[in-house]
Amino acid sequence: MSFRFFVWYCTVGGAWAGFFGWLLGRLLAQTIPTGNDKIFPVIQHSSIVALFLGLSVALALSYLDAVFNVTLQQLGTVIVRVFVATLVGIFGGLLGGFIGGAIYHWTQWDSVFLLSWIIVGFLVGTSISFFQVFMSLVSQKDVSGSLNKFIKCVVGGTIGGLLGGIIALVLLKIGNVLFEGRDHNALWSPTGIGFVAIGACIGLLVGLAQVMLTEAWIKVEAGFRPGREMLIQKDKTTIGRAEGSDIGLYGDMEVEKTHANIILDGGRYWIEDLGTPGGTYVNDKKVEGKTPLKAGDVIRVGKSLLVFNERVKRKD
């Protein structure tokens, strides 16, 4: 999957997730008795709807992120990452909706719900890389790479929640003018479209943050799934035929199960061959030891060609 399609899928996936989250939350909130307490119905409605928003958007974006970065050959890892992300998304939605509903009860300001969507966006961004950061801290491996991705997702999710929340509030104000005297929670059009906007903005900004703030990436020119692009987000990125490889070159029998590593060391990227019979080549020169990489270098592993790219332009 190319970066362009990754951002596009995150945006569309977030939009649909926002719609289904709003729809499920709305339907469930209407079926649960609220009692006579005036504050509880407000908090309950906002909490349930936001809970499903957080659940659905975290589920959609974590799945897309896992498929983009892990590949379905590592199905077990994908399932665990998505499951953990969904739990964090549920918590984020519940927390954001509860805080927004409680403050709204005391102030009656619709704008306070903007805080809810910022919280939801923040925790949806957190959810995407939460499992990866946790495993890195436990294993003490690739901590800096995982934290870098965590920061990108959190920044993107928070800004997306803010932007989507602003759009949702504008739509709500327009709906209140057009349907004066109606309960805004009963208005399907502005609230539903508003949640679509929130989901789309969170997805868009999470995707853009990962792509625009990345330092290095690989594009497959020839080999398994040519045209796909993969972010290099670890201190050590493995290339090989094994299912656990970060850059999987499946089906190429000239590639060893663990063939080579791309290493971040001293602020730049290097490649090393792992003693394979066929070797690893950079610009048709065989890699001996640890070889530095620069933007545009062509890495040949078996029959596969990989183009290395990074933001920093190096002369050597």
Least confident of 34-38, 107-111, 167-171, 275-279: 34-38
Least confident of 29-33, 262-266, 276-280, 292-296: 29-33
Q: pLDDT higher for 138 or 184? A: 138
pLDDT at 97 (0 to 100)? 77
**Sign of the torsion formed by the C-alpha atoms of 41, 42, 46 and 49:** positive
> Cβ neighbours of residue 216 under 8 Å, at least 6 residues apart?
231, 232, 264, 269, 308, 309, 310, 311
pLDDT at 282 (0 to 100)? 94
Q: Are 168 and 189 in contact (CB under 8 A)?
A: no
Q: What's the whole-number mean pLDDT along residues 306-311?
A: 90
- Tens of pLDDT, residues 143-193: 777 888 888 899 999 999 999 988 888 887 776 676 666 655 554 455 678
Indicate the pLDDT class of residue 2, thresholds 50, 70 and 90: confident
Copy the structure tokens of residue 114: 């903007």
- Cα(142)–Cα(129) distance, rounded to whole angstroms? 13
- Tens of pLDDT, residues 186-245: 544 556 788 889 899 999 999 888 888 778 889 999 877 788 888 887 778 889 888 778
Q: What's the whole-number mean pLDDT along residues 295-313?
A: 88
Residue 258 has pLDDT above 80, yes or no: yes
List the one residue out of 41, 54, 172 whose CA is nearest residue 109. 172
pLDDT at 184 (0 to 100)? 54
List C-alpha distances in Å: 191 to 140, 292, 311: 44, 53, 40
pLDDT at 11 (0 to 100)? 93
pLDDT at 231 (0 to 100)? 84
Q: Are 311 and 219 in contact (CB under 8 A)?
A: no
Copy the structure tokens of residue 180: 């004066």
Copy the structure tokens of residue 225: 């799934």
- Tens of pLDDT, residues 55-113: 899 999 988 887 776 655 567 777 888 888 888 888 888 888 777 777 766 776 667 77
Q: What's the whole-number mean pLDDT along residues 243-258?
A: 85
pLDDT at 41 (0 to 100)? 55
> Cβ neighbours of residue 160 under 8 Å, at least 6 residues apart?
14, 121, 125, 198, 201, 202, 203, 204, 205, 206
- Cα(198)–Cα(34) distance, rounded to whole angstroms? 27
